[in-house]
Each structure stands twice: as structure tokens, then as C-alpha cells.
Structure 1
Amino acid sequence: MQAVATSTSESTMGVRPAAAPEQRDAGAFQGYQIIRRNGAVVSFEPNKIAVALMKAFLAVHGTQGAASASVREMVEALTDAVVRALMRSRPGGGTFHIEDVQDQVELGLMRGGHHEVARAYVLYRERRAQERAKAGQAAEAALVHTLTVTDRGQRVPLDEGKLQALIESACADLGADVRPEPILAETRRNLYDGVPIDEVYKAAILAARTLIEKEPAYTRATARLLLHTIRKEILGEEATQAEMAQRYAEYFPKFIKKGVQAELLDEKLMQFDLAKLGAALQADRDLQFDYLGLQTLFDRYFLHVDEQRIEMPQAFFMRVAMGLALNEIDREARAIEFYNVLSTFDFMSSTPTLFNAGTRRSQLSSCYLTTVADDLDGIYEALKENALLSKFAGGLGNDWTNVRALGSYIKGTNGKSQGVVPFLKVVNDTAVAVNQGGKRKGAVCAYLESWHLDIEEFLELRKNTGDDRRRTHDMNTANWIPDLFMKRVIEGGDWTLFSPSTCPDLHDKIGADFEAAYTAYEAKADRGEIKLFKRMPAKDLWRKMLTMLFETGHPWITFKDACNVRSPQQHVGVVHSSNLCTEITLNTSDDEIAVCNLGSVNLAQHLKDGVNGKELDLDKLKKTVSTAMRMLDNVIDINYYAVKKARDSNLRHRPVGLGIMGFQDALYQLRTPYASQAAVEFADRSMEAVCYHAYWASSELAAERGRYSTYRGSLWDRGILPIDSIDLLAQQRGGYVDVDRSMTLDWDALRAKIARDGMRNSNCVAIAPTATISNIIGVDASIEPCFGNLSVKSNLSGEFTVVNEYLVRDLKKLGLWDSVMVMDLKHYDGSLRRIDRVPDELKQLYATAFEVETQWLVEAAARRQKWIDQAQSLNIYMAGASGKKLDETYKLAWVRGLKTTYYLRTMGATHAEKSTISAGSLNAVPMAGGAGGLSAMEAAASQAQAAMAEAAPATDIKFCAIDDPGCEACQ
């Protein structure tokens, strides 16, 4: 492969390379440099990457094959991806070693599916490395002894002993496989004469992070090196871990005072006993972080003044704790209690709470739900509310069902309505425009009920074809589906679409009442009393819903009646939609904007050793949940509300959303495959315990602080707990509910407790996606299965290699963890399925998301849903998707009583072929419970799947709007 290189800018054999990013914006790369292997430092020229990639394709495909426009476009796209990855790793400018660039080229080729080219490129690099070694060109270590560094404006010799001691301390107590020597060698390789001292420490961090894929424990060594940089920046000098207990106590009161003086922190924080709180900080908890978690906090969460951080990790947790304890009687004791659950990673508040607790503008809530009225005043009031809430808040869920359909009569103008879609385009653009001062993009989901006459056009909002004025490329959409529609689909009936202007009461009716009113309107249409309607087979609309869901990822499938019939608050309103992430189910109206405050228990931290291995630690879970519920309840009173309707609603009903994360990590500890009945049972038992203790804690808070104001008449007041409300759903549906009803805890005792003391919160439990906060504490998000045992996560802080430490531990025991295994995991997108030497037991335990049969996701979610008073963000993973399988999956979700589902994740054909022995064997076991598959959808779904084959590299997935680096909604 003589044509492959990264050190030349020449084109080859008459083929002009694709335009590199620098040709479009040359100034974007100022401040970036390249270190050559001889130690010379030169400017960063992305065009050379394009040349190297073109030569790689030439070497494999020949001149004719590589000269096509498609290959040149591919090279340009790959170049852009490589440059973006490099710049994300050093967002403030910096120096890359030539090997770093080549690593990114190799990764880009692999992730782009160009495996032949990547293989040739790897072999070429290895051969060149051997040639350089033979020629003695790799002996750069001798230069290090003469290196000088720039420290505070002066050139001084590099203190190698000090650097070595720092790296050795970062590796201490991390096991025999984490050694300082390779970090030190790689750091030296990336230094040049006169390098700024800060760049030396940065080089050490970058050197350590390159080793993570080979030994995941290096992630903690990397975090410790970053911790050294953080301490140096904030304290103004270096401090060892042994010194930090004393240094934290001294620094903390100064930090609070500085934050108040800078008008960042609430002046009330100065009223705390800061010495006592400073003494309570546990410096050793800094060592829990992995690199992704600490870098995320450093870049996005820690307070700063004039671009300089003033907040260290334990001070961050205490600041949040203080912000949540402002109204407590014994504030110091409660702050320490809250600090302890946060800093031990037992529980984590949502991102808005972590951002803003204790600050002067303490907007702590994650989710807002609104209903849009059917007049211009109401519509533009809703747009204004979206803008204000997006400016200060988290994710938005808008209910648009009230708004009249296209063609409806407008009395005021004697004209006809343009329907919902044009206004949704404005909502989309508002979300883009109002982006919280550049901190994140606005995040909105529009909901529309399935009988609305605009539903067919609503389904197509996210398509990339058609009139772009009637498309919303930046916002999310969701179907709000009544049970009657699902029954018509299953029973082969027709479905009639109406405008809400001719049947306004359907919007607020649920269950049997909705069915009676709806059939009456159908009769009116048959008699000619309603002119504006459309009738079709229900299956046709269902088919289009699923086809659009597959092709565009939207609209999501959510179920109106399950959300309402099982809502504890059905006596004072209607749930008209969910939120951005489909886990919040609260009433909305013209007068109320629903608000929910989120936080999540880390299940992986709530296991203990039992007789037969690990088991759920119910005592610890009870304690954590009790503290967490108090923290969430406090948010309601401390919170800043940008809109009065939101404040009124939240103080009236006091809903909160306690969730879970680390479910997959807990299964690893239990040695339980996700795709197993044992995992379903654990989902059941763990959620039962979380909900039981959450409801108990809310009742305890009611005894201490009083019941929420609309408690009287609620399901709680009537002695009907969430598990009991399944019977109400079955009654309303007339069947079509098949849910396990088993239980292990004393729910009668809880009923008696609530009858005596009431409830502090109308709603208590909701499982959010936790995309960001799970990164902070280093566990798998929410209830998600592992996406890949070796993967790359991308966010504002750069790209992070994430390796499954549980898997590595098991492979080491079997003597199977080596460089070949690393390469195999890279090639197979983090999957073990095709790696023959791995035992089947481990393949089952460490099966990735697309290897878990879709049925198991739904069954586990159904077991959780029976206990939850709100809902859960449930992503559906499906390899080899077909119309029949989509149909069966979502019907099963409905029959199992799920309230909502979230994204549909499908795997392209090329990834399915690469990751499994036989085509279609990834999560392909047929599911029970489906009725009447949609064979007509098969061809369309297959075509869409082929078109999407390369759309989602399995090593780099964005799980939701939240995992978009620009978004913080709902955690």
C-alpha cells in the first residue's frame, strides 16, 4: 500500500483530492499544530488528511475505482469527520501528534464501513512503523532530556521526575495492568521544545486516554490526571490527593464567597455553616470518576468566572445539596445528607438541577407540558411560553390536538383554517432560535391525537422530501393514540378522522366515555351532519404510523388511555400528552402547564452480597429513595418558574419523577443476561421496591409537611395504588390487558399509611433517559441494554472510548483479553457474537442492544410500568425490522399496558450481516401477542432499511435529543 500516507499534500495519479474543510474556512484551524515524528512542529493542514484518504482508496480500488465522484464525496465526508473528531478532542486549540491523526483516519474508515481500505491502512502503518524501528527513527526519547517547557513566561527544563511522580500517582491502586510507563512514553512523544507547561499535563491526559481501549481501568488514571489539572487551575497550585482533605476544607468557604461575589451563587448560601460543610467534603470520592464523567462535569457543569473554573467536584456536589436544602430547618444536616447520596453516586439529580441549584436563577425542573388553545391568541401564547421555558428550562411537550384541522371553518374571517402543520413549523424554528444562550438547542415534542384530521400530514413532518415549509426537521413528534383506535386495528374496523372544531369534547374524554362520544360523531358523519371528516381502514393508518416511525424515527407511539385511566390525578384533569422523552404523564389545560422535577437512583449501587451471589439491597434502597424524594420535593418550592401557569400547577399538585439508571450494570453484577426471564423478574422486583419506598416517602413527607392541595378525590385518596389501576384499565378496554400482577412487598401496609397521612406529591415516579447524568457516574443509561461493549461516545467534550469493564474482567479471567480481542470488538461494533473463542455464557450476558430480542425490552418494561404512576422512556431496539415485527412489537406494548414508547432504533443491513453469523438472527425471535401482521408493509420497510443501511454506525450512537451535545433536556 505504497500510496497511503499522511505526511504529503500531493495528489496521486492525476486524481484531485476532495475539498478539505480548511478550504472552506481556513481560519478555523488556527491554534492547531502537528508534531512530526522527528519532533518538528508544523501547522495543521486538513487537506493532507484528504490526500491520505484518497491514496488509501487508490491503493485498494485502483485509479479508475477511486476516481468516481461518489468516492471523492466519501473522502470529503471522511475528512470532515476526522477533523471534527480531532478538534473536539482539543476544543480550545492544541497540538496533535501525527499518530493521533492517523488513529482518527483509521477509526473513520472503520466506522464508515470501509473495512478493506481500513485493513490495508492498518497494515501499511504497521509496516512503516517496523521500517522506522529498523532505521532507528523511533528513538525520540533522547530528545526528552534536553526539552524545555514554558512555565509562567520562562523557559525552564522539564522536571521529568515530577512528571513521572504525577503519572505514577494517577495509576496507583488501579491494578497491575495499569502502568505509568506507557503513559509517560506517549506523553514524551507528544512534547516539543518550549511546550507550555499546561500542554505537558494535557499531553499526559491524552496519552492515558489512548490506552483505555486496551485496559478500561486507564479511564480512572486519565480522570486523575485531569483532576490534577482541575486542582491546579482552581487552587492556583498543584495539590496531591493526600493533601486534598485539608485543602477542600480550606477552599470551600472561599469558593462559596467567590461565587456569591461574582453574582453566580445565591446569597443565602452564605448563611450556612460553611466550615462545617467544608469539613464534610470527602476528597477520596474524587477517585470514583472515570474520564468521561469528570471531563463532562469540568466542561459543562462546574461554575466559572471569566472562563476560569472555580468549582471542584466535591464542592459541586455540596453546592447542589445546599441549593436543595435552602428551606430546611436543619440546613447543614440536610445538605450533608443530600451531598452524601450525590457524591457516592447512589442518586443523581437531573441536569437542570445540577446546573442551577444554589445559583441566583435556580431553574431546576426538567420537563414542561403544555396544551395549545384553538385560537390565534392561544397559539401564539403557547409559542411565547415555549420560548420562555426553552430559555430557562428543559424539554417541552406540546399538545396540539385542540387546534382545528386543515379546511375547518373560521367564523371570524369566514375562511378556512390552514391546520396544525404551519404552526408546528413556527414551533420548530422557535426551538432552534431560543437556545438557552447557546448552552443547548431548544427541545420540543408535539403530540397529536390519532383522530385528528391532520394526522396523516403530521406523520410526515420529519420526512426529508416534500414541501420543506411543511416539515419540522429539528423537533420531535408523537402519536397520542386512544384505545379505541388500537381495538379497531386489531379487529379490522374503520377509523374516522375529524377536526376538533366539530367535535371539541373528544380532546378531554378518555376510555369508555371517549368511545361513546366518538361513535356518536361517526353516526353524525354518516347522517351528513358533519361534513369535514375522512374515513379509512384503521390498519391503513396504523401501517402509515409504523412506516413513518421506521423511516424517520417519528412520530413516537404513545397511548392516551393507559396514561389517563391509570393517572392518580384523573379527578382534576386530563393527560393530553407526554413530554420530550415520553416519561412524564401529567394533566395540562389552558390554565396549567405541567412541570416535573427529575432525579435517578443508581441501581448498580444498591446491590449486596447474598447467599447465591448479588441481590437487591432493600435497606439501602429505602434510605436512598427517602432522601431523594425529599430533594425532589424541595425543588418544587425553590424552583424558578419562567411562566406563571407552570408555577401554579407545580405548587398545586407537586409532582416529581424519581427514576432509575444503571439497570444493565446491575444485571452484569447479578450475572443475568438482559434477554432472560430472570432479568424481567429483576425489573419487576427492583421497580416494585423503588416505587414502594417512593410512595412511602411521599406519604411521610405529607405527614411532616402536609398533603398536596388536590389530593382529595385522587386515586391515592380512594385507596387505589398504581398496581390496582391496572384493573381500571382492563375495565375500560373491555379486555386487551395482559399484565403480570405478582408482588412481594406489603402494599396493604402502604395503603393504610396513605389513608392515614395522605401524599405530598400527586406523582412520584418516572424513568427518564439519564443520558448525561449516567455518563457522569459511569453507568449505562436508564433502563437501556448495553449498546456496544467497546464504543465511542461523542459530546461537547470530544469523543470518548468506552469499554465494558465487566466484560474485560471476565475475559481476563479466561486469558482472552488481548489486542486481537480489542480489534475484533472494534470490527464487530462491540459485539461478541462472531468472536468464536468467547464462551456462549459471556455472549449471552454481554449481548448488545440489537442482540436482545425486542420482546424482552417490552416485557421488562411492562413489569416496571405496573408499579409506576407516570411512565418510562423506553427505546425499542430492532435488528432486521419488518412490518410484521413492528406491528407485533407495538401491539404487544399496548396489550402489556405500557403508557408510552420512545425512539425506535433499527440496525442497517450491513451491520446486521457483520455482527451475526446468519442474517436476521439479531433479536429476531417472533413475539407472542401480535394480531394480524401487516404484510403490505414488508416491502416498504425493507426498502427503507436498505436506504438506512449505513445511517447509524454502531460504535457512535446518539440515543436521543439529550445525547445531542447541544441539548440538556430531561437529563
Structure 2
Amino acid sequence: MDTTLSPGNSSVNVTAPQQLRVIKRNGDVAPFDASKIAVAMSKAFIAVEGDNAEASSRIRDFVTQASDAICEAFLRRMPDGGTLHIEDIQDQVELALMRAGEQKVARAYVLYREEHARARAAAGDDIQKPHPSLNVTLADGSLRPLDLGRIETLVYEACSDLPNTEPQKIVDDSVRNLYDGVSADGVSQALTMTARTLVEKDPSYTYVTARLLQDNIRREALSFLGVAEEATFSDMAELYAPAFKAYIEKGIEFEQLDAQLADFDLERLAEALDHTRDNAFTYLGLQTLYDRYFIHRDEVRYELPQVMFMRVAMGLSLNEDDREARAIEFYELLSSFDYMASTPTLFNSGTQRSQLSSCYLTTVPDNLDGIYSAIRDNAMLSKWAGGLGNDWTPVRALGSYIKGTNGKSQGVVPFLKVVNDTAVAVNQGGKRKGAVCAYLESWHLDVEEFLELRKNTGDDRRRTHDMNTANWVPDLFMKRVFDDQEWTLFSPATCPDLHDLYGAAFEKRYQEYEEMTRNGQLKLFKRVKAKDLWRKMLSMLFETGHPWITFKDPCNLRSPQQHAGVVHSSNLCTEITLNTSVDEIAVCNLGSVNLAQHMTDGELDNEKLKKTVRTAVRMLDNVIDINYYAVPQAKNSNFKHRPVGLGIMGFQDALYAHGIAYASDAAVEFADRSMELVSYHAIEASSDLAAERGQYQSYEGSLWSQGILPIDSIEKLKSERGEKYIEVDTSTTQDWDRIREKLAEQGMRNSNVMAIAPTATISNICGVSQSIEPTYQNLFVKSNLSGEFTVVNSYMVNDLKERGLWDEVMINDLKYYDGSVQPIDRVPDDLKAKYATAFEVEPKWLVEAASRRQKWIDQAQSLNLYIQGVSGKKLDVTYRMAWFRGLKTTYYLRALGATSVEKSTVDRGNLNAVGNGSEPAPKPEAAPAPTPSEPRGIEDFLSGKSGSGSRAPSAGEIDELGCEACQ
């Protein structure tokens, strides 16, 4: 609500969060009144500046903005409401004044607080009601005395094995925020919120917070299941088994779980549940599971963490001979975080509608019936959480002749608008928008308009603001760019065979079509400078973040399945490269190995990795047979080829454990060797599965059947592209001849085995860095669908502690510099290199590491490129390098944005100085994005004259992708 404050003659408006309540010093509870914040600030200004403050518009504006900011911070912290202690509110007022540089006013406010505290103490009014007299309201409305002993048990259990934590501080601060009549959930929330505020002091508190959050989770699930009203962590050693069995019974009764789960030996599985693994979650990981993964009924979540992992494992074991043994094996892998299945598998495994696959790729035919059938398929696949990649290249271009109506085509763009709106409409009951990416080859006559689909200007009927787009770029185009030659655009209506050609065959036929334009045989075409089109591609990528740049020829020339079709596009996250046709919708099933969990004494544990990969490949292969298919073309394709996509995550964590900086030759070498091991074990695991279960149907004629492994296929790419245009390291360390011999004897179970997905969400669950990404920031507030979470780089904190550098000043410096250690003088150079953040790592290192991985992968990788101070030259060099180094695809371009860590707890500006008393280094600033009214010519952009701002997705949007299918 809006309230008007009138101290003297001034008037300010503030928005009061009505669902918050304030605990007074005597223990009474009152509604939160935002106007009192404004009153307090105004009085502080008046105390310093006298009556002049009342007339100052600057002060009125500041008071309004600061009051609103404090209210918004409280609402973000407690979006569902809660209680605040009066002292917490006053602390925020004091800090707001100091952050704004109003030191005299802040000092006056501090003195005012101290004066009133002394007065209350003298009058005996500063004594809170004794805590034992507080009552807790139970779910049925009855009251019981606050059990202070239980609170202490919960907190001391949560801190038991974590260094540098202070359980008594959490107890004392939490109890201070309780009031008479607080709900049982409110007690748990007070504990959680208190621990959460300490995360920035020490990363251990993220585990403390997660463990305290479990009190609420256990109460909700156990009471619903009729097992217990509440439980401590130690209680769960006995309660997990009955909770699991009651859960299976309830889930089947509610028709949410597959009835076949009741046929398992539930006693055996219950005994395998390890309640201690609940302690491995970070706060962000557990809150993410609770908000988005746990099965619920009538908004009550009755699934517990270990129960969820066992449910997923059971669902993936339905067709195994010894189902219980395999379920336990799969559960061990998931619950230990050694490997994590993709989000659709976690959502749906073991349920009645087991749509477990992540990605669907389709080709859209050039006729009206086919186009709308493809859009219908999009809707059906999107309904069950699938991420979509559509190949639109066959659809005729604007101005093409339509024989049936004797008219001219309106081209691809109007249909893409329908696709966009369908994706918005089919949103899983409000859970998320449908997620789709449209691909178009760079010779298509509509490509220039396709590049502008995501612009905020122009005819909105020819814009797609909600879907993704990607360029499908032939090698010949890149050669023309390198050699500064012309490029010809065609309509597929007159050049239909170009769609299915690649490599040397594409170049030959394309040049024949170009000759036909010169002798008059082809009338509908357009000739442009290749560099001009390339500039526009980069310009739109810079301005809108789309279309992404992906490369047609390496995807096809290195595809194991080139005998069985053509790769016409990638998927929503650019890591899947599978054949598509009118009859086949490609499907891929994803999961990721957590590299960080396979580091032992700073080295990669090869034996553990081998064991994990073998089990992971088996789980992924099982998905194919268990999966629910929304359209028949998907089932046809998946059963025929059986592709899976095993990837990695926690790459940056593994580098930290190895003591390696991301921007280094050692990191590039580690990327090479680690991916070689994953590839080695994954290919062998699939071959051994073929010996057990049989080869996939289309195996004969594949590169596998010819003894050509992913590392070998690089030679074909070099041969057809030309040595002049590619440079890829081909070194190896493993005995690959042994694998070739095994394939010759056993074959392969899966046409494709590897793909590196983004893992943005499942890496949160596991508490590691996503996919192959460098660290985003060393200290920041992460916002996602589950709220806001302080994220601190624990490796950095431990290193700084070892050198005696972790203190309040360092924390404030990191906040001030947006999580960067580079401007902090007292941080040693070796740590600055090791803890360089994503935008401080030159993109060449990302490309080099990706190139080393790509040589081992039969599909592709979701490669985000982070570029600070974007210029046309830097973009040009980076994307040319990606192609030159043999990459198949790239993903988002991340330009440095103006987002930063929430500074609501920064003590004061002078603490930002380093310990030696020097002035703080200038804070890096991101140039603002040009406004729509500013001119941005392509030449200006590519010459760097348009500045370093970017309209591409900013740093703050990094995890807010439209789809969780690959995450």
C-alpha cells in the first residue's frame, strides 16, 4: 500500500510490504509500516541539516528511493512473508545512509539509536519477554510452548561437521526474531533466514542453511505421509524407510507414480537410503529441489531428497533383470552427486507419464500441411517439457512461386511468429514457456530478415521475442568471409538439394547454382558480400543475443550417422547434432558426470570415472525404452538409432582442485585429457552394452562400424574443408586401438554417446559450477525461480584464509568489485589468475578448451562465450577462431552487463580500501547499452566505434534460460 509521510513540510511515498511483521524489543509483534523507515531517515536529515532538509527535493527523493529499496530487499528475502526484528530494520537504514555517502547523517542516526537504547535500559523497557513463555502455533491451530532445546538440537546438528560455524549465534539471533504465536514453519524459517545471512562470511553456512531448511521439508512430507509430525536429522536414520514406503503407496494412490514401483522389494530399497546424504546439499541446491522437483499434491510436497533419487533410480530400472540391484546402483550415483540426470528425467522418472528425454529436433517440410503438423508436434513435445530445435531451411523464401495458388510465398518469418506464440501458449500449466529454437541455413533468401527476428524495433508481426534462433552456417560461407568474396542467397524452392548436401558436395552444387544465376536459369536470388552478411550476423548477435552461430559441415562430416541421414540443425542448447527428416524427429537423452566429484588429491580419479561413466551410459540407454513419446516420429527415430548425450559439469571446480587457472595452457590440457577419458569410457560402455543387449538398428554403415572414432573423424573434416581453414590438436594418451578392436567385435548400442549440455539447474542441485563454464563471480547474489541466494566461491575463501586474507574488509571489497579479486591489491597475483571470473577470462581460452573437448565428442557442446568490452573486432576474431578450431556449435554470447551483487550489507565506503590504507582501485564499469535512438551502423559496430555496450543477454541473465530440458 502507499502511505504518505509528512515530517514537517516534506512528503514522500513508499510501498509497504503488508505481509511482513515486525518484532518489537519487548517481544510484541506489529505489522510492518514502511512509512516509519521514511520518518526515521527524514528525522536524521533534519537533525543534521535543520529545516533545510524539509525543503530539499534531493533529500525527499533519496528518502523515497532508499525506503523503497529497503522494503524491496526485505520482500526479496522473504517473498512469502515473515517477521523482522526492529533492530534488523534499523541496521538497514543505517547501512543505506552509509552506502549513499551520507556519513554525517548516518552518524547522527547511530547516535540517536544509542541514546534511545540507553534510555530504554535505564527505564527497564529493553527486556524482551522470556523465550520459554513463547508459544508455537501448530498446523491444527493449537499452541505449545517453544521448545528451545529442539532448536538447539537442529542448529548444532546442522553445524556439527562444518568448520568456522557458530551454532549458538544462530540460535540466539533466531530466537530474537520469534514472537508469541509463531507457526512451526515460522520457527524453521527464522533459523533458515538467520543462517542464510551468514553465507557471505563463510561458505559453510550455505550447508547449515540447507540443513535447517530440511526441518520444514521433513515436517511437510512426514506429516502428510502420516509417519511423524516432525523430525530432526538424526531421527531420519529411522524414519526414511517408513516414509519411503508410505510415499510409494500414496503416490500410486494419487495416480502420480507408476504402479510398477510397488512391485519392487521396497524393504531392500528402503535399507539402501542414506539419510546422511541430505547434508551434502547447498541452500541453493535444496531450495531448487523443493521448489521445482519434489512431487506434490494440493501444494504439499510429500517427497524427500533421498526418496526422490530412489524414485528416479527405480523408474530407470523398470526393465532391468535385477531391478533392485540396479535401482540401488543408480541411486548411489545420483545421491552422491557423482552423476546427475537431466531435469526431465528427474521430473518424470517413475511417474505415470515418464517423458524423460531432453531434446527434440525436427525438420519442417515445404508445404502448408507439413508446416502446421510440425507446429502441432512442437506443442505436443513442449507439453511434456521437451526442448525443441526446428530446421526451417526447406521452407521456400519470400517471393517464391506457389504452384497450387499461382501466388507468391510470404517466406519463413510469418510461420516463425506462429511458432513463437505456440511456445508461449503451451506453458505446462504456467510452469514455464515452451522453449524452441529455429535454425536457418545462411544461403536461404530469408536469412537477412531471419537475423532481425529478435529486434525490439520494426513490424512486431515479423518479430519473435520469445523464441530462440540460430544460424546454420556452411563451411563455404566461412571460406568466402575469410577470402572476402561474394555470397549468393537462394530460395530452397529452386535449390532444394542444398539442404541435404554438405562438405565438398555442397560446395560443388552451390557453385553450379551460382553459375545458373549468371546465365539466367535462376531468377530468384540475391548476391551479397560474404563479409557484409557476416557483419550483420555478429551485429545482431551483439544487439539481441541471437541468432546463435552454429556450423553445418563439422556437424555432418564428423557425424557417426552420416550414412543414415543429414544433421539439419542442433537443438535448443546447441549440443545435440542428430539427423532429422520428415519421418524422423531426433531425440536425445542427457545426463552429466560431475568432474569435481572425481578429483582425488588434486588429480582426476580414472577408476572412479570409469565406474561412473559405465553406470551413467546404462541409465541413459534405459531412458530410450522407458520413455514416453508424444509423437510417433520421435519414437521411431529413438528406437532406430538410440542416441544418448553424456556430458560433464563441475569443470571449473575440477580446475580449482587441480590448482589450475582457467586462462592457462594447463587448463586447456586438462580439458583435453579429462574429456578423452570420458570419451574412452563412454564409447567402451556403449560397446559393452551392445554385447549384452544388441547393436542399435542402423549401426551398419556408421563411422563406428568402420572403426572411425570421433578423434578419427577430424581427418575427414580437414580433407573436405581444406587444411588452410582448420587447425585442431589431435594428440591422444589412451589405447584407442583397443576400443576400435572392441567395436569391430561388439559394435555400439548407441549411435551417439556424448554431448555437453549447459546443466544450469542440475549443477545447482549438486553445488558445483555449471557444465564447462568459468566461475561467474566469486561473490554474488544469484536470482532464479526459487528466489535469491548468496553464492560465494568456497575455493577462493579457503585459499584466502590460508594466507590470512579473509576478513570483513575482503568481503566488502568483493561486494564493491562485483565478486572480482583483480582490483584488490592485497590479493596475490597467483590467486588473481586462479580466481579470474568469466568476463576476466579471454574468450580465446574458452574456445581453445572447447576445441580440445570437441575432438572427443560425437555430438557438440553448449559453449557460452563471455566477452568483456565487446567490440566488432573481438567478436569477429572469436567466432572465426571457433570455426577455425573445428567447433561444431556456439551458444549464448554473454556481454558484461550492469548487474552486481546486492550491496545491502556493505558496511561503508571506506572499508573498501585494501588493508595497506591505499585508495581502492577504480571500480570496473560496464558501458550502458546504446538506446534505440542511437545510430548503430554495421560498419561502426564492427570497427568498434559503437562502444563496448551490448544488447545481448547480460551477466545477470546467465541462468535464466527459457527451458530446463538440457539443464
TM-score, length-scaled by structure 1: 0.90
Distance 1:869 1:153, change over 3 A: same
Residue 164 of structure 1 deviates from its aligned partner by 2.0
Distance 1:683 1:205 in 2: 38
Residues 547 and 940 in structure 1, CA contact (< 8 A), matched pair in contact too: no
Question: Does 2:304 align with 1:304?
Answer: no
What does residue range 711-750 of structure 1 map to in structure 2 within 5 Å?
A: 711-735=699-723, 736-750=725-739
Helix, strand or coil: the match of 1:763?
Answer: coil
Residue 689 of structure 1 deviates from its aligned partner by 0.3
**CA deviation digits over 1:48-80, x for unaligned, max 9?**
7799999999999999996699x89x977x988
Give the aligned partner of residue 166 of structure 2.
179
Residue 551 of structure 1 deviates from its aligned partner by 1.0
Distance 2:242 2:503 in 1: 61
Distance 1:134 1:904, change over 3 A: farther
For structure 2, the residue ranges without an aligned partner over 5 or more in a row are: 224-228, 902-911, 914-919, 927-936
Of the three residues 402, 407, 430, the one matched with 1:410 is 402
What does residue range 759-778 of structure 1 map to in structure 2 within 5 Å?
A: 759-778=748-767
Give the aligned partner of residue 776 of structure 2.
787
Helix, strand or coil: the match of 2:706?
Answer: coil
Residues 884 and 935 in structure 1, CA contact (< 8 A), matched pair in contact too: no
Distance 1:909 1:284 in 2: 41
Question: Does 2:183 align with 1:196?
Answer: yes
Question: Does 2:300 align with 1:321?
Answer: no
Helix, strand or coil: the match of 2:866?
Answer: strand
Distance 1:664 1:943 in 2: 33
Helix, strand or coil: the match of 2:705?
Answer: coil
Distance 1:15 1:895 in 2: 65
**CA deviation digits over 1:466-503, x for unaligned, max 9?**
11111111111111100000000010001111111111
Question: Does 2:524 align with 1:524?
Answer: no
Residue 192 of structure 1 deviates from its aligned partner by 1.7
How many residue pairs get aligned? The number is 928
Question: Does 2:935 align with 1:936?
Answer: no
**CA deviation digits over 1:224-246, x for unaligned, max 9?**
11122222222232333333222
Give the aligned partner of residue 959 of structure 1.
959
Residues 8 and 48 in structure 1, CA contact (< 8 A), matched pair in contact too: no
Helix, strand or coil: the match of 2:522?
Answer: coil
Distance 2:302 2:77 in 1: 23
Residues 469 and 548 in structure 2, CA contact (< 8 A), matched pair in contact too: yes
Distance 1:855 1:393 in 2: 34
Aligned identity (percent) is 64
Residue 178 of structure 1 deviates from its aligned partner by 0.4
| Of 339-348 and 394-403, the range deviating more from structure 2 | 394-403
Give the aligned partner of residue 822 of structure 2.
833
Give the aligned partner of residue 854 of structure 1.
843
**CA deviation digits over 1:278-310, x for unaligned, max 9?**
001111111111111111111211112222222
Distance 2:535 2:5 in 1: 53
What does residue range 59-78 of structure 1 map to in structure 2 within 5 Å?
A: none
Question: Does 2:360 align with 1:368?
Answer: yes
Instruction: Give RMSD over aligned pairs.
Output: 3.3
Helix, strand or coil: the match of 1:824?
Answer: helix
- Look up the equivalent residue of 1:936 and give its one-letter code: E
Question: Does 2:885 align with 1:896?
Answer: yes
Residue 959 of structure 1 deviates from its aligned partner by 3.1
Of the three residues 800, 808, 822, the one matched with 1:811 is 800
Residue 150 of structure 1 deviates from its aligned partner by 1.9
**CA deviation digits over 1:554-605, x for unaligned, max 9?**
1111101111111111111111111111101111111111111100000001
**CA deviation digits over 1:380-403, x for unaligned, max 9?**
111111111110022111111111
Residue 969 of structure 1 deviates from its aligned partner by 2.4
Residue 528 of structure 1 deviates from its aligned partner by 2.1
Residues 683 and 860 in structure 1, CA contact (< 8 A), matched pair in contact too: yes
Helix, strand or coil: the match of 2:703?
Answer: coil
What does residue range 636-715 of structure 1 map to in structure 2 within 5 Å?
A: 636-715=624-703
Of the three residues 189, 192, 206, the one matched with 1:219 is 206
Question: Does 2:559 align with 1:570?
Answer: no
| Of 58-67 and 881-890, the range deviating more from structure 2 | 58-67
Residue 968 of structure 1 deviates from its aligned partner by 2.1
- Look up the equivalent residue of 1:464 and give its one-letter code: N
Helix, strand or coil: the match of 1:496?
Answer: strand
Distance 1:128 1:293, change over 3 A: farther
| Of 34-43 and 426-435, the range deviating more from structure 2 | 34-43
Give the aligned partner of residue 94 of structure 1.
82
Of the three residues 148, 153, 157, the one matched with 1:160 is 148
Helix, strand or coil: the match of 1:535?
Answer: strand
Residue 42 of structure 1 deviates from its aligned partner by 3.6
Residues 688 and 867 in structure 1, CA contact (< 8 A), matched pair in contact too: yes
- Look up the equivalent residue of 1:843 and give its one-letter code: K
Residues 543 and 937 in structure 1, CA contact (< 8 A), matched pair in contact too: no
**CA deviation digits over 1:127-183, x for unaligned, max 9?**
6665555555795655535423223423333222222222122111211x2011221
Residues 882 and 937 in structure 1, CA contact (< 8 A), matched pair in contact too: no
Distance 1:118 1:639 in 2: 61
Helix, strand or coil: the match of 1:517?
Answer: helix
- Look up the equivalent residue of 2:537 and give its one-letter code: M
Distance 1:102 1:470 in 2: 52
Distance 2:93 2:407 in 1: 59
Residues 816 and 923 in structure 2, CA contact (< 8 A), matched pair in contact too: no
Distance 1:946 1:853, change over 3 A: closer
| Of 185-194 and 799-808, the range deviating more from structure 2 | 185-194
Distance 1:602 1:121 in 2: 51
Helix, strand or coil: the match of 2:509?
Answer: helix
Residue 648 of structure 1 deviates from its aligned partner by 0.7
**CA deviation digits over 1:894-953, x for unaligned, max 9?**
0100000011111148989x999689999xxxxxxxxxxx9934477553644659x84x
Residue 860 of structure 1 deviates from its aligned partner by 0.3
What does residue range 144-159 of structure 1 map to in structure 2 within 5 Å?
A: 144-151=131-138, 152-159=140-147
Residue 43 of structure 1 deviates from its aligned partner by 3.5
Residue 721 of structure 1 deviates from its aligned partner by 0.6
Distance 2:40 2:454 in 1: 37
What does residue range 160-309 of structure 1 map to in structure 2 within 5 Å?
A: 160-175=148-163, 177-236=164-223, 237-309=229-301
Distance 1:595 1:106 in 2: 56
Give the aligned partner of residue 356 of structure 1.
348
| Of 764-773 and 899-908, the range deviating more from structure 2 | 899-908
Distance 1:41 1:909, change over 3 A: closer
Helix, strand or coil: the match of 2:708?
Answer: coil
Residues 370 and 593 in structure 1, CA contact (< 8 A), matched pair in contact too: yes
Residues 568 and 762 in structure 1, CA contact (< 8 A), matched pair in contact too: yes
Distance 1:947 1:716, change over 3 A: closer
Helix, strand or coil: the match of 1:242?
Answer: coil
Helix, strand or coil: the match of 1:831?
Answer: coil
For structure 1, the residue ranges without an aligned partner over 5 or more in a row are: 1-5, 23-28, 923-933
Residues 27 and 179 in structure 2, CA contact (< 8 A), matched pair in contact too: yes
Helix, strand or coil: the match of 1:887?
Answer: helix
Of the three residues 5, 10, 15, the one matched with 2:5 is 10
Residue 690 of structure 1 deviates from its aligned partner by 0.4
Give the aligned partner of residue 834 of structure 2.
845
